[in-house]
């Protein structure tokens, strides 16, 4: 065969991500507030875009009969765009007229997101900034000691801590500054180190982690050697560190996992400003017939329209071909953006409708009825791609009579039930653990092993390590920590 340059004509198909399609996919992942900012920029850049007067929001009706499905029709082009509080079990007691009043005001921004396993903040907690680390420690010192001198030194030490909770000075420096014995300074430091959060008052990272390991009852000679040689861990000399600790691979992996669960800067959780209240993107309103009304929060989502009369006026004044081309481009951009925003709204409602159907028990009875749910299950039910469902559920919040929740909250892993039939949501297990711990007798604190037995009686088959993981995930301390906290509460 002859070698030389030649021209070949080939025909092939490929999927091209146009800038407009990329923009539509980006819009799908944005929250309403982020879309509002995006629309503001678009209004400045395109003279043909305008904001229309508020109209009746598009609503998805979810019937009480689970066999009926809400269908939102989409065109092939629309499909292309789309693809790119209470934790108790009390039934809801809802006054429909009150819900109508709330819907009319549109003042859903006052809702606070309730995290799994936590109680909502009181009304007196919304406006005030959280206490600083020093204030938090000062409030505890008076409850744990009646010695005025010891309390005085401890308060001084608490005021000397840096923002991460570490003590930059030595006990000798503190004793010299206050004119007290060094032993008194050491005793005061030990008192500060016994306070919440565990790890404050440490003079080094190793001491901070050691305090937390002791609190969790995980501090043994092996862990002590690990904490004394953190420099080897930082350099990645794991085989040498494992030999020094005298443990096998499995125990060493458990020790490292335990270490990663500790907070190296326990003081940083204090002194920051209060979080802004979450503004929901989706509103779920119960109907008198037992169904649900699902709609987007129009208070945070301006409605765009194309000002066609202005387009006709400008078109008549354009004599230049370049100006006419620019105007045509702006019209195309405006039409595409309006269509993309409309399809975004339809897609969000479609995904949220399926989530509400799947988790109907949660909205009616509470977290114990939350079912395991995956993105794939929702995607298959509404015949969309899993990545589309993932984008829709990112940065989106749903407000319902039980509180305001991130859409991702309803996608939980499953835990096998004790009878071997089906599975329950991990969040339902966390709620059960929290209920058991909240009801425990301060004189008979429940250990993790006891929690395992009690949960098994409720139908949850979990290992002790899993119970400890869930307990820590919802912010509940070990039995030692809870015993100390409830003892302090009794003193107060």
Q: 415-446 pLDDT, tens per residue?
A: 555 544 445 667 777 888 888 888 888 888 88
Q: Burial, 22: exposed, middle or buried (Cβ in 10 Å; 0-12, 13-18, 19+)?
A: exposed
| Contact present, 378 and 389 (Cβ < 8 Å) | yes
Given a contact cutoff of 8 angstroms between Cβ atoms, the answer to whether 469 and 438 are in contact is no
- Is residue 244 in a domain? yes
Phi, psi angle pair for 165, to nearest 5°: 100, 10
Which of 358, 340, 348 lies closest to 389 in space, CA to CA? 348
CB proximity list for 276: less than 8 A, separation 6 or greater: none
Whether 104 shows a pLDDT value over 80: the answer reads no
Which pLDDT score, from 0 to 100, does residue 117 have? 38
Q: How many CB atoms lie within 10 A of CB 402?
A: 20
The enclosing H or E element of 97 equals helix 96-105
Most confident of 4-18, 74-88, 388-402: 388-402
Q: What is the mean pLDDT of residues 472-481?
A: 80
Q: Provide the mean pLDDT of the chain.
A: 75
104 and 146 assigned to the same domain? no
**Can you tell me whether residue 425 is helix, strand or coil?**
strand
Percent of residues, the chain, with pLDDT higher than 70 = 77
DSSP three-state, residue 348? helix
Give the mean model confidence (pLDDT) for residues 349-368: 85
Residues 143 and 225 in one domain: yes
Judgement on whether residues 349 and 243 belong to the same structural domain of the protein:
no
Amino acid 122: pLDDT: 38
Residue 489, pLDDT score:
60
Q: Which pLDDT does position 121 carry in this prediction?
A: 39
Give me 143's structure tokens. Answer: 């409850």
Q: Which CATH number belongs to the domain containing residue 470 in this structure?
A: 1.10.10.60
Q: What is the pLDDT of residue 415?
A: 59
Tokens representing 166? 């570490």
Residue 367, pLDDT > 60, answer yes
**Which pLDDT value is given to residue 64?**
63
Whether the CB-CB separation of 134 and 162 falls below 8 Å is answered with no
Single residue among 357, 382, 408 that ends a domain in this structure: 408
The yes-or-no verdict on residue 94 having pLDDT over 50 is: no
Claim to verify: residue 361 and residue 457 sit in the same structural domain: no
In a domain, 88, yes or no: yes
460: which DSSP letter?
B
CA pair distance 119, 271, nearest whole angstrom: 21
Q: What is the pLDDT of residue 305?
A: 86
Average pLDDT over residues 393-421: 74
Kindly tell me if the per-residue pLDDT of 492 is higher than 80. Answer: no
Residue 234 within a domain: yes
- Among the residue ranges 31-35, 160-164, 336-340, the one predicted with the least confidence is 31-35
Q: Is residue 4 part of a domain?
A: no
Same domain, residue pair 175 and 191 = yes
Residue-wise pLDDT for 250-268, tens only, equals 888 888 888 888 888 888 8
Alpha carbons 154 and 193: distance in angstroms, whole number: 10
**Helix-helix angle 321-358:375-382, to 10 degrees:** 110
**Count of structural domains, the chain:** 3
Q: Are residues 147 and 215 in the same domain?
A: yes
Closest CA to 465 of 242, 226, 238, 218: 218
Q: Domain containing 173: what range?
A: 133-269
Q: What is the pLDDT averaged over residues 49-77?
A: 57
| Mean pLDDT of the region 173-188 | 85
Q: Are residues 372 and 426 in the same domain?
A: no
Instruction: For residues 326-335, give the mean pLDDT.
Output: 88
Q: Which two tokens stand for residue 43?
A: 């209004």
Question: Is residue 373 within 8 Å of 381, Cβ to Cβ?
Answer: no
Per-residue pLDDT tens digits for 288-324: 888 888 888 887 777 888 888 888 888 888 778 888 8
User: Which of 203-212, 436-445, 479-488 is predicted with the least confidence, judged by mean pLDDT?
Assistant: 479-488
Written as six digits, the tokens of 25 are 């996919």
For residue 93, pLDDT beyond 60: no
The domain boundary, picked from 237, 269, 301, lies at 269
Q: 394 and 289: one domain? A: yes
pLDDT for 31 equals 81
Q: pLDDT exceeding 90 applies to what percent of the chain?
A: 1
Check whether 486 has a pLDDT greater than 80: no
The secondary element (H helix, E strand) that includes residue 400 is: strand 397-400
- Tell me whether residue 393 is in a domain: yes
Q: Is the pLDDT of residue 407 over 80?
A: yes
* DSSP structural state of residue 395: T
Answer with the one of 376, 408, 440 that is the final residue of a domain. 408
Pair 424, 476 in one domain: yes
- The predicted pLDDT at position 490 comes to 57
pLDDT score of 2: 64
Per-residue pLDDT averaged across 117-121, rounded? 39
Q: From CA 302, how far away is CA 448, in angstroms rounded?
A: 51
Residue found under tokens 């009390």: 90
The better pLDDT of the pair 118, 24 is held by 24
Tell whether 149 and 215 lie within a shared domain: yes
**Quick one: average pLDDT of 231-235?**
81
From residue 358, give the alpha-carbon distance in Å to each of 353, 362, 381, 446, 448.
Answer: 9, 9, 10, 34, 32
Q: Are residues 225 and 152 in the same domain?
A: yes
Q: What is the mean pLDDT of residues 236-251?
A: 83
The answer on pLDDT for 152 being more than 70 is: yes
**Residue 157's pLDDT band (cuts 50, 70, 90):** confident
Higher pLDDT, 63 or 433: 433
Q: From start to end of 6-118, where are the E strands?
A: 49-51, 59-62
Whether residues 186 and 249 fall in one domain: yes
Question: Region 340-349: what's the mean pLDDT?
Answer: 89
The band of 229, judged by pLDDT with boundaries at 50, 70 and 90, is: confident
């Amino acid at each position: 065969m002859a070698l030389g340059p030649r021209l070949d004509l080939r025909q092939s198909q490929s999927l091209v991500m146009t800038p407009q399609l990329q923009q539509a996919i980006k819009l799908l992942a944005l929250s309403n507030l982020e879309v509002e900012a995006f629309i503001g920029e678009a209004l400045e850049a395109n003279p043909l875009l305008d904001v229309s007067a508020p109209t009746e929001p598009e609503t998805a009706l979810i019937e009480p009969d689970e066999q009926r499905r809400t269908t939102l029709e989409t065109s092939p082009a629309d499909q292309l765009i789309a693809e790119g509080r209470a934790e108790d079990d009390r039934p809801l007691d809802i006054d429909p007229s009150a819900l109508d009043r709330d819907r009319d005001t549109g003042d859903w921004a006052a809702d606070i997101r309730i995290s799994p396993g936590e109680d909502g903040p009181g009304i007196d907690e919304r406006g005030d900034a959280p206490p600083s680390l020093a204030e938090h420690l000062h409030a505890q010192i008076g409850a744990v000691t009646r010695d005025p001198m010891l309390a005085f030194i401890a308060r001084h030490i608490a005021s000397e801590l840096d923002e991460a909770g570490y003590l930059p000075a030595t006990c000798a420096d503190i004793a010299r500054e206050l004119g007290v014995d060094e032993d008194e300074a050491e005793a005061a430091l030990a008192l500060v180190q016994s306070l919440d959060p565990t790890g404050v008052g440490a003079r080094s990272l190793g001491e901070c982690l050691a305090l937390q390991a002791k609190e969790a009852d995980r501090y043994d000679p092996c862990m002590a050697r690990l904490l004394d040689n953190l420099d080897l861990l930082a350099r990645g000399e794991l085989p040498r560190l494992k030999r020094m600790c005298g443990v096998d691979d499995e125990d060493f992996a458990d020790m490292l996992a335990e270490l990663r669960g500790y907070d190296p800067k326990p003081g940083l959780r204090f002194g920051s400003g209060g979080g802004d209240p979450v503004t929901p993107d989706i509103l779920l309103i119960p109907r008198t017939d037992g169904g649900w009304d699902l709609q987007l929060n129009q208070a945070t989502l301006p409605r765009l329209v194309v000002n066609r009369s202005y387009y006709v006026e400008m078109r008549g004044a354009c004599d230049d071909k370049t100006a006419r081309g620019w105007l045509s481009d702006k019209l195309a951009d405006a039409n595409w953006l309006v269509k993309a925003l409309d399809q975004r709204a339809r897609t969000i409602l479609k995904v949220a409708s399926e989530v509400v159907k799947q988790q109907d028990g949660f909205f009616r009875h509470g977290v114990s009825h939350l079912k395991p749910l995956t993105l794939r299950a929702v995607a298959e039910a509404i015949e969309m791609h899993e990545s589309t469902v993932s984008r829709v559920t990112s940065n989106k919040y749903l407000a319902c009579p039980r509180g305001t929740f991130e859409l991702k909250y309803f996608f939980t892993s499953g835990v096998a039930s004790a009878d071997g039939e089906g599975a329950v949501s991990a969040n339902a297990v966390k709620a059960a653990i929290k209920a058991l711990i909240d009801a425990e007798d301060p004189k008979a604190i429940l250990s993790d092993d006891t929690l395992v037995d009690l949960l098994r009686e409720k139908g949850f088959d979990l290992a002790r390590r899993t119970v400890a993981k869930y307990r820590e995930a919802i912010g509940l301390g070990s039995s030692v920590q809870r015993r100390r906290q409830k003892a302090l509460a009794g003193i107060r």
